[in-house]
């Protein structure tokens, strides 16, 4: 069998006609909503625009869910940016994490032949054609190498790369359409950032690089990172050690006592990654962790990894400590050192008031950080991207620990640090 070729553009468009029809329907819905509520577009009161945001958020979430692929990635990235979007979008997009339908092996096998050659099966002594997991852009098969090593074969779906160019064009069109509703931010610039981020995640050589760098770090006992097999990896294929166990999602749902130990370990590891290593897993969803039979916590999926320089770690930590009430002193120098620009005393007063209100109604770390990002968005402040990445990871981990009644604690050496 000859290796498959990428379909021509007319053929690709014909195959994807259902997906692009849904884009046009969504755009029509957005246009109608904007016209119906055109008086709200002139309002500077965000509360008055909430019904319009809710309507459009649901339409966009439905579009992403039905189109899958890169659209799910777009939604997942946006669900982590409460500094940019009102809560209606964060809530609607955050729900798009369910397993995607798996591709049939008859469609996958020609793709394996293209990636590993016609004799692709000769690399394995066993290969389960039924995937153990499937997601928006890839699916995972369990296999065994010739030497008996059990491996996970992460295979990018054949259609994803071919459809990405059209998906990017459609996203740019929606950004232009929504620009009047988001006057406070440059929606087109955000769309371009989303496209670049997704494009990087579609290149598994980037993920292999992240995995290799992450595995070389001196993690605490009980943290495990799977070994990679670079000779079998490529832009569309990633082969790593198979780590047996249950997903952390399963443990959280069915084993509360076991969950407490694992979440404490996850919290400590995350803080070590952020504050000590400066290289951290940026998508700490419970489905990206495996609890081994020995209660080790294995970290999976390194498509989203962020880095902080030593100076960024120091400045961001000092700022967060001050904002969360763990230190004292003037705020403005801390913001400026952390890379925030254009701040005025009035902004600082509003931020302080927002944090006081948040602490009154929700004294958790998550509540304070969410209030902080929400106020940043209201003030239309430009926030350094690394700071946002760090805060959203802390929000996710803090949310998990709070839900399972585990105190969120800074490392002892940082308590009270100014």
H or E, element range at 124: strand 124-127
Q: Tell me the pLDDT tens digit for each residue of 175-190.
A: 888 888 777 777 888 8
- The answer to whether 338 touches 320, Cβ cutoff 8 Å, is no
Separate counts of helices (H) and strands (E) for the chain = 16, 11
Tokens of 414: 């940082």
Q: What is the rounded average pLDDT of the residues 47-58?
A: 81
Q: Tell me the pLDDT tens digit for each residue of 266-291.
A: 999 999 999 999 999 998 888 899 99
Tokens of 229: 């097999």
- The answer to whether 137 touches 102, Cβ cutoff 8 Å, is no
Closest to 225 (Cα-Cα) out of 308, 296, 137, 303: 296
Q: What is the rounded average pLDDT of the residues 361-381?
A: 75
Burial 53-68 (b: 16+ CB within 10 A, else e): bbbbbebbbbbbbebb
Tokens of 315: 């400045």
The CATH topology of domain 105-159+203-224 is Phosphorylase Kinase; domain 1 (3.30.200)
Which pLDDT belongs to residue 170? 86
Q: Tell me the pLDDT tens digit for each residue of 104-131.
A: 888 888 889 988 999 999 999 999 999 9
Which pLDDT belongs to residue 418? 34
Residue 7 has pLDDT above 50, yes or no: no
Which pLDDT belongs to residue 222? 94
Query: What does the alpha-carbon distance between residue 104 and residue 5 come to, in Å, rounded to a whole number?
Result: 18
Dihedral sign, CA of 394, 196, 22, 5?
Answer: negative
User: Pick the residue with more confidence: 382 or 313?
Assistant: 313
Closest to 313 (Cα-Cα) out of 271, 354, 346: 271
pTM comes to: 0.81
Tokens of 121: 């099966």
The number of C-alpha atoms within 13 Å of 43 and in the hemisphere containing its C-beta is: 13
Burial 189-209 (b: 16+ CB within 10 A, else e): ebbeebbeebbebbbbebbbe
In the chain, which residues fall in CATH 3.30.200?
Answer: 105-159+203-224
Query: What does the alpha-carbon distance between residue 113 and residue 121 come to, in Å, rounded to a whole number?
Result: 9
- Expressed in angstroms, the distance from the first to the final Cα of the chain is 66
Q: What band does 263 get if pLDDT is binned at 50, 70 and 90?
A: very high
- The answer to whether 126 touches 15, Cβ cutoff 8 Å, is no
Query: What does the alpha-carbon distance between residue 319 and residue 314 come to, in Å, rounded to a whole number?
Result: 9
Which pLDDT belongs to residue 16? 58
């Amino acid at each position: 069998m000859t290796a498959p070729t990428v379909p021509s553009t007319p053929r690709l468009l014909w195959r994807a006609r259902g997906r692009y029809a849904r884009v046009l329907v969504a755009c029509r819905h957005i246009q109608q909503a904007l016209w119906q509520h055109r008086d709200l577009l002139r309002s500077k009161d965000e509360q008055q625009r909430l019904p319009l945001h809710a309507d459009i958020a649901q339409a966009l979430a439905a579009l992403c869910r039905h189109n899958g692929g890169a659209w799910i990635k777009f939604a997942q990235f946006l669900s982590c940016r409460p500094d940019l979007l009102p809560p209606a979008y964060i809530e609607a997009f955050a729900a798009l994490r369910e397993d995607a339908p798996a591709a049939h092996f008859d469609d996958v096998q020609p793709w394996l032949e293209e990636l590993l050659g016609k004799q692709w099966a000769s690399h394995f002594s066993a290969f389960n054609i039924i995937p153990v997991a499937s997601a928006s852009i890839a699916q995972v098969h369990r296999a065994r190498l010739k030497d008996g090593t059990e491996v996970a074969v992460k295979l990018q779906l054949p259609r994803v790369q071919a459809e990405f160019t059209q998906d990017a064009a459609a996203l740019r069109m929606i950004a232009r359409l929504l620009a009047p509703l988001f006057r406070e931010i440059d929606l087109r610039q955000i769309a371009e950032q989303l496209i670049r981020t997704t494009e990087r995640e579609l290149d598994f050589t980037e993920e292999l690089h992240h995995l290799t760098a992450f595995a070389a770090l001196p993690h605490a006992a009980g943290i495990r990172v799977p070994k990679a097999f670079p000779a079998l990896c490529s832009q569309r294929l990633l082969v790593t050690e198979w780590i047996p166990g249950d997903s952390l999602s399963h443990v959280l749902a069915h084993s509360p006592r076991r969950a407490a130990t694992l979440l404490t370990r996850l919290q400590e590891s995350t803080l070590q990654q952020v504050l000590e290593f400066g290289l951290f897993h940026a998508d700490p969803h419970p489905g990206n962790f495996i609890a081994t039979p020995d209660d080790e916590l294995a970290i999976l999926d390194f498509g989203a990894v962020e880095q902080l320089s030593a100076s960024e770690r120091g400045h961001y930590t000092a700022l967060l400590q001050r904002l969360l009430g763990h230190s004292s002193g003037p705020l403005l120098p801390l913001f400026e050192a952390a890379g925030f620009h254009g701040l005025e005393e009035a902004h600082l007063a509003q931020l302080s008031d927002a944090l006081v209100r948040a602490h009154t109604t929700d004294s958790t770390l998550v509540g304070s950080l969410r209030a902080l990002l929400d106020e940043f968005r209201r003030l239309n402040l430009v926030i350094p991207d690394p700071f946002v990445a760090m805060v959203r990871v802390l929000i996710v981990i803090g949310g998990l620990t709070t839900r399972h009644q585990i105190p969120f604690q800074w490392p002892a050496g940082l308590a009270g640090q100014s």
